[in-house]
Amino acid sequence: MTTNVSEITRLVYSGLEQNGYRGRIVSIKHIADLKEEIEAHYNGGVLDKALYREYSLASFESAAPEDFPAAKSLIIIAAPQPQYRVKFNYGGRLFHLIIPPTYSHHTDETVGNLLSDILKAKGFHLRPAFLPFKLLAVHSGLAKYGKNNISYIGGLGSFYRLRAFLTDLPAFEDSWHGLQLLEQCNQCKACINKCPTGAIVEHRFLIQAEKCLTFHNERKGEFPDWIEPFWHNCLIGCMRCQSVCPANKRLFSWFEEKESFTEEETGLILKGASPYQLPRVTIGKLYRLSLLDDINVLPRNLNALLGQCESR
Ligand code: SF4
Ligand code: SF4
């Protein structure tokens, strides 16, 4: 059995490597460690209540091993991902807007199918798990945290998307690391200086997530008054701290040119048209950008960016 597990583990890692992915396998028992750590942050008053509810409780419920009693390990995977550059025609002008790495869902299925094919051929099973991916990646040794609480992987910087899976394949080598900070962070404050909102605090491991632009522009509702219009820099999310990080030095200019929205499409999105009101061609563009789930926040985010560009 041990040899078999070791051989299948090797097959999983080589399959990932051949496809450009990175991954780690750890024991399922660490779900409890992740939950305990998040609760400790929340009880210690350094984790916002909304984030605690959103990222921890719901996630842990969906990954409860009772749903998959034979599950023995967690696989955390990083799929490399560029920034997307998207064009919006509006008011006779062309605007180039950025979607940061991590937002495209399209590698999720590919990664899942790859792992499933390898494991199924050996009689094992796989199921997606919605866990705090960055925390899991760092504890598994796959990634390290930056001061901006973005996770980084050697050679990939922060340009990747994380996904996790439960499997009944036992963890052959279960290593679980303490939280590790990037070595570059020891001599660097670039993200602290660049963050427009002051969310990154010196001498505190967790950023003030409730001050982060990403926290606000991924959620519905009006932006708080304290957010200055000129701080917005991405269609969703924020690239300010990642774009100055030396760990991303070789990746700064990794862009993929993506969809182009016509004047009419831009107008419809700004008006908050629902997927039923948008032309099929527009739906196709939003699907390819993995933005259909975020359609409710797009009018507000797009309006903030176009308004800011127009006023220049
Ligand atoms: S910008 Fe500097 S301090 Fe911030 S995460 Fe990157 S290396 Fe660390
Ligand atoms: S994502 Fe933007 S707002 Fe959030 S910590 Fe980084 S620079 Fe600051």
Q: Would you state the structure tokens that stand for residue 306, as one six-digit string?
A: 């176009």
- Ligand 2 pocket, mutate which of 201, 210, 212 (most atoms under 8 A from CB): 212
* Nearest-CA residue for atom 8 of ligand 2: 195
Q: From the CA of 207, which ligand is nearest?
A: 2
Lowest model confidence (mean pLDDT) among 61-70, 137-146, 236-245, 298-307: 61-70
List pocket residues of ligand 2, CB cut-off 6 Å.
148, 195, 197, 199-200, 207, 212-214, 238, 240-241
pLDDT value for 41: 84
Q: Ligand 1 atom 1: the closest Cα is on which residue?
A: 245
* Alpha carbon distances (Å) from 244 to 157, 173, 207: 12, 36, 17
The answer, yes or no, to whether residue 147 has pLDDT greater than 60, is: yes
- Is pLDDT of 46 > 80? no
185-218 exposure pattern, b = at least 16 Cβ within 10 A, e = fewer: beebebbbebbbbebbeeeeeebbbebbbbbbbb
Q: How far is CA 144 from the centre of its chain?
A: 14
**Residue among 214, 217, 242, 245 to mutate when testing ligand 2 (max atoms within 8 A of CB):** 214
Q: What is the 3-state secondary structure (H, E, C) of 4-60?
A: HHHHHHHHHHHHHHHCCCEEEEEECCHHHHHHHHHHHHHHCCCCCHHHHHHHHHHHH
Query: Is this model's pTM higher than 0.85 or not?
Result: yes
List pLDDT tens digits, range 264-285: 999 999 999 999 999 999 999 9
> Among residues 166, 213, 5, 199, which one has the least CA distance to residue 71?
166
Domain boundaries, the chain: 2-182, 184-310
* Atom 2 of ligand 2, residue of closest alpha carbon: 238
pLDDT at residue 239 greater than cutoff 70: yes
How far, in Å, from the CA of 173 to the mean position of ligand 2? 35
Closest CA to 25 of 228, 197, 175, 222: 175
* pLDDT confidence tier of residue 2, bands split at 50, 70 and 90: low
Closest ligand 1 atom, residue 200 Cα = 4
pLDDT-based confidence at residue 309 (cuts at 50, 70, 90): low
Phi, psi of 79 (to 5 degrees): -110, 120
Instruction: Calculate helix-pair angle for 298-310, 263-270, nearest 10 degrees.
Output: 120
pLDDT (mean) for 140-154: 97
For residue 78, give Cα distances in angstroms to 25, 163, 170, 222, 291.
Answer: 12, 7, 20, 33, 20
What residue type is 307 in one-letter code?
G
- Measured in Å, residue 183 CA sits from the centre of ligand 1 at 9
CATH architecture assigned to 2-182: 3-Layer(aba) Sandwich (3.40)
Q: Which residue's CA lies nearest to atom 5 of ligand 1?
A: 146
- Name the percent of the chain lying above pLDDT 70: 95
Which residues form the pocket of ligand 1, taking CB atoms under 6 Å from any ligand atom? 146-148, 182, 184-185, 188-191, 244-247
Which pLDDT value is given to residue 121?
95
Alpha carbon of 217 to ligand 2 centroid (Å): 11
Confidence (pLDDT) at 18:
97
Residue in the block written with tokens 């094919």: 117
What would the mean pLDDT of 175-186 be, rounded to a whole number? 93
Which ligand ends up closest to the CA of 146? 1
